[in-house]
Amino acid sequence: MSHDLKKLSDEIDWRIRVFDSLSFPTLILKADREIVSANSNFLEKFDVELDELVGLKCCEFLYYSDLPCPISVCPITRVIEDRKGHSILKQVNINGEERWEDRVFSPILTDDGEVAYIIQSFRDVTRVKTLERTLKETENFLEKVVQSSPSAILAADTTGHLLLANEAAEDLFGYSIIQDGGTITSEDLYPPGKAREIMRMLREESAGGRGKLANTKTTILTSDGTEIPVEMTASIIYEGGKEVATMAIYNDLREKMAVEKQLRDARDQLVQAEKLASLGQLAAGVAHEINNPLTGIMFYANLALESLAPDNPLREDLGYVIEDSLRCKEIVKNLLAYSRQQSTSKMVHHINEIVDKSLALIRDQKVFREVQISKELQDSMMMVYVDRMQFTQVIINLVMNAVAAMDGKGTLTLRTYRDKNAQKVFLEVEDTGCGILKENLSKVFDPFFTTKEPGKGTGLGLSTVYGIVQDNAGLVSVKSTGPTGTTFMVELPLFQPSENTLNPNESNS
Ligand SMILES: Nc1ncnc2c1ncn2[C@@H]1O[C@H](COP(=O)(O)OP(=O)(O)O)[C@@H](O)[C@H]1O
Ligand SMILES: [Mg+2]
């Protein structure tokens, strides 16, 4: 054998071996799809002898059909056309088991570039396919978990561009954060400077460990520029020790804060009410104790007076004793009124009527001479269920304070209106007086708090108002105050006729 021939036979030998040792079952076809050869892997898989196979069309063996497969399914036509490899993914059923095959068709070209043969190999990709499907399912599941969370969830890449936002996030921020062509960054979601601050805290060890931010209160910015208080947790996502993204979870705090404020207000009112109640009890007790000795003092002073001769100089002194005792009696009477130990009789009244009548009682006094009185009494049904005498006291106290604050000169406005939805009636007493100093605001309803000079104020006016309003299921507050004047606001429940309020006086009339 010549050297060249030996080389050639060697080469043919290893080429056949390569073909045979291919780990995929493989066929060699002619361009007309006739089977020329198959490797041993193929013969084993399909349990067939080579000579049974050679000469058959590929479709005859694989599908028991003389018709070639449709072009859409069989890539051979395309291989012949563009002389490039093509493949097709096929789901097959082998012994009742679902498998996935990647069938790869590669051309073997002649020296002038025509397709002489086609290699068709069968690769089992069931494992990859199954993994792919599991991955997809896991992804879908995770997506659902994220989407269904009632907390807003966001993720952004290291440059701050947003990658993910769940529905709750879009609700909270008020727009579809992701769909906007990726132009929104995390900086847009916070008031200026906040995003950086959060990133800084995230990288610190102190706030929950490096890369983690434990529950933190902060503020976010919605699409219309509203700042919303939220509670957030955040973390940096690392991959192989490198920062790749950040994620954050937000919970809207507005509702919680509103409830907290209500609770705080309710507690403040309770404290005030308790202070008033205990002082009222104390006052009532003291008044009772003093009443008896006072009666004694007056009785004996009168006796002594009667026994003295008309020109006795001691008569004048005894006159002072009796006069001062009378003043003491008056103070005691006021204290008892303050502690409100009289019984109340609540009835349904129109609030405007009480306002008019209360004003009529006092407006002839000298102090009103230079006061303009403006009434803005709304013209709707504003029935309230209150004790008229007590409520007259409320209005008189507020009005007298207003007039005092204006030093007798200015405009006094009495305003009534209602909020039907909230079922409330409002009464406002507004003055153009000196206003209340900030440091006194929390004290004006306290018993005995007064800024008036001794002898002019008792400091009991507003605390009486407070107690009465509360007894009538209402609220009183300083709506506004400043150097140009003060507005006190009383709110009362709007009486609803359908409501079954027990009112014996009403059924008689
Ligand atoms: N309309 C008002 N404008 C400014 N200050 C007021 C007004 N009403 C009440 N105040 C302040 O609240 C204090 C307490 O009022 P009040 O309880 O009625 O007691 P008094 O009128 O006897 O001082 C007043 O001394 C005054 O400092
Ligand atoms: Mg007063």
CA of 405 to the centre of ligand 2 (A): 10
Q: Does residue 462 have its Cβ closer than 6 Å to ligand 1? A: yes
Pocket test for ligand 1, best of 272, 450, 476 (most atoms within 8 A of CB): 450
Query: pLDDT tens digits, the chain, 509 residues: what are they?
Result: 567 778 877 777 787 788 888 888 999 999 888 999 999 889 988 889 999 999 888 888 887 777 777 777 788 888 988 999 998 888 888 778 888 989 999 999 988 888 999 999 999 899 998 999 999 999 999 999 999 999 999 999 988 888 889 999 999 998 887 765 667 888 889 999 988 888 888 888 776 667 888 889 999 999 888 999 999 999 999 998 898 999 999 999 999 999 998 888 888 877 777 777 777 777 777 887 888 899 999 999 999 999 999 999 999 999 999 998 988 887 777 677 666 555 568 899 999 999 998 898 888 888 898 999 999 999 888 999 998 888 988 998 999 999 999 998 999 999 999 999 999 999 999 999 999 999 999 899 988 899 988 767 778 889 889 988 988 899 999 999 999 999 999 999 999 876 454 444 444 33
Q: Does residue 458 have its Cβ closer than 6 Å to ligand 1? A: yes
Instruction: State residue 374's pLDDT score.
Output: 95
The CA distance from 173 to 252, in Å, is: 10
Read off the amino acid at residue 129: K
Neighbours of 452 (CB within 10 A): 12
CA of 477 to the centre of ligand 1 (A): 13
165 contacts 175 by C-beta, under 8 angstroms = no
Give the predicted TM-score (pTM) of the model: 0.49
**Ligand closest in space to the Cα of 457:** 1
One DSSP character per residue, 82-107 reads: H-S-EEEEEEEEETTEEEEEEEEEEE
Q: Does residue 434 have its Cβ closer than 6 Å to ligand 1? A: yes
Please, which residues have CB within 8 angstroms of residue 383's CB and are 6 or more apart in sequence?
348, 349, 350, 351, 425, 494, 495, 497
CA of 450 to the centre of ligand 1 (A): 6
